[in-house]
Amino acid sequence: MTDVFHIKLRVWQNLLATLINDYNIYAPLKNQEALDYQLIDKSHIPQIIYNVPKPISPLKLFFLPVKENVALEVLSAPNIIIGSPACDLHALDILDEIYLHEPFVDPFYREKRENTILIGTDCHSILEHCHCTSYGIDPYPDKHHDLLLTVIEEDVFLERNSEKGDTVIEILKNQTELRRITESHQIDLLLKRQSIIDRLADQNEQLPDYQQTGQLITQSNDAIWKKYAKTCVACGACATICPTCTCFLLVDRPGFEKIRQMDACQYPGFARIAAGEDPLGQHFVRFRNRYLCKYVWKPEKFHSIACTGCGRCIETCIGNIDKNELFRELKRVKGKHKDT
């Protein structure tokens, strides 16, 4: 924390009022009980929610919309996204690896990434299904953010992490005198971080880590997948809401439209091919396929993990399927086999 600045909340809010003139700013706002990103205007600035996990929508939707026409060259507007949690920022590892890997760079994804300033935030609380630390991710940003923002009552702490972050800091310097964070404030922030790490560790004590989960899935039999797949309605919400799932269809339409549309491996027709053949035709096989992809096949192909522990798939599941309970059961079953 050597390059952290301390300002007052009103100064930060004044800065946002200035930035709105040149950027589309998205920030977490509360709508009834839901927290999600919204495009804000000046009237929304006092309503922004800071350091609370986590917006309903994953960060990926800013870079990979549910639908977009990829036959047209559309210039994206400069965006600032406030409130990106560590689980979403870590998900950019695998998205960047897929969509920015030479020589097959996706120009639409690249342009959106380049035209976006990401302001990450620490999580100062946890939700029931948060489990980022189980997969080696701390509950505070350590990559892919341009600025790190922490708000504690009327105090705001800003840490720059890129040239794009420097741009914001320079604008701020023209408005106010910046002070470096004090040692006592640093200690307070570090203690807050550690308390969240400890709470996550207690909450997910029996949850296997990422690598062990892949091994458990590989060694499992059909019975447990049939059991958990019973309530799956194949809606695809788990894949749509996941910050790392990126399967899509290309749909040709009249008027030279080529629509890239998000797809999901839980849809019944996902793997169907000519003559109606379908390697994922059985419901439980298709259900298991998603977890094989995230915990076994993606780690074999990429250097990044394909689940960052955000818990959104559990929260959004119509069938009330808790993947973490599934993994705990796999772990218990293996433990019993070892004892016998």
Q: Per this entry, what is the length of the chain?
A: 340
Q: For residues 130 and 311, is the Cβ–Cβ distance under 8 A?
A: yes
Could you tell me if 185 and 297 lie in one domain? no
Contacts of 310 (CB under 8 A, 6+ apart): 54, 58, 85, 87, 88, 91, 130, 132, 243
- When computed from its CA atoms, the radius of gyration of the chain, rounded to whole angstroms, is 21
The pair of three-digit structure tokens given for residue 317, joined into one six-digit string: 């599941």
Could you tell me if 220 and 166 lie in one domain? no
Could you tell me if 118 and 167 lie in one domain? yes
How many whole angstroms from its chain centre is CA 246? Answer: 12
Could you tell me if 328 and 218 lie in one domain? yes
Amino acid at 13: Q
Structural domain ending residue among the three candidates 188, 203, 218? 203
In 85-196 the beta strands, taken as DSSP E runs, fall at 116-121, 147-152, 155-160, 179-180
Could you tell me if 299 and 188 lie in one domain? no
Structural domain ending residue among the three candidates 203, 233, 260? 203
Say which residue the tokens 């790392």 belong to: 244
Could you tell me if 195 and 230 lie in one domain? no
Q: What pLDDT sits at residue 199?
A: 98
The sign one gets for the Cα dihedral 238, 201, 149, 141 is negative
Query: How many domains is the chain built from?
Result: 2
User: What does the pLDDT profile of the chain (340 residues) look like in tens digits?
Assistant: 558 999 999 999 999 999 999 999 999 999 888 899 999 999 999 999 999 999 999 999 999 999 999 988 777 789 999 999 999 999 999 999 999 999 999 999 999 999 999 999 999 999 999 999 999 999 999 999 999 999 999 999 999 999 999 999 999 999 988 899 999 999 999 999 999 999 999 999 999 999 999 999 999 999 999 999 999 999 999 999 999 999 999 999 888 889 999 999 999 999 999 888 999 999 999 999 999 999 999 999 999 999 999 999 999 999 999 999 999 999 998 776 665 5
Say which residue the tokens 């400890």 belong to: 198
Q: What pLDDT sits at residue 161?
A: 94
Q: For residues 30 and 49, is the Cβ–Cβ distance under 8 A?
A: yes
As a whole number of angstroms, the distance between CA 82 and CA 41 comes to 13
Could you tell me if 179 and 219 lie in one domain? no
Could you tell me if 28 and 125 lie in one domain? yes
Residue 216 Rama label (left phi>0; alpha psi -120 to 50; beta): alpha
Q: Which domain holds residue 157?
A: 4-203
DSSP state of 42: G
Structural domain ending residue among the three candidates 203, 231, 246? 203
Could you tell me if 296 and 172 lie in one domain? no
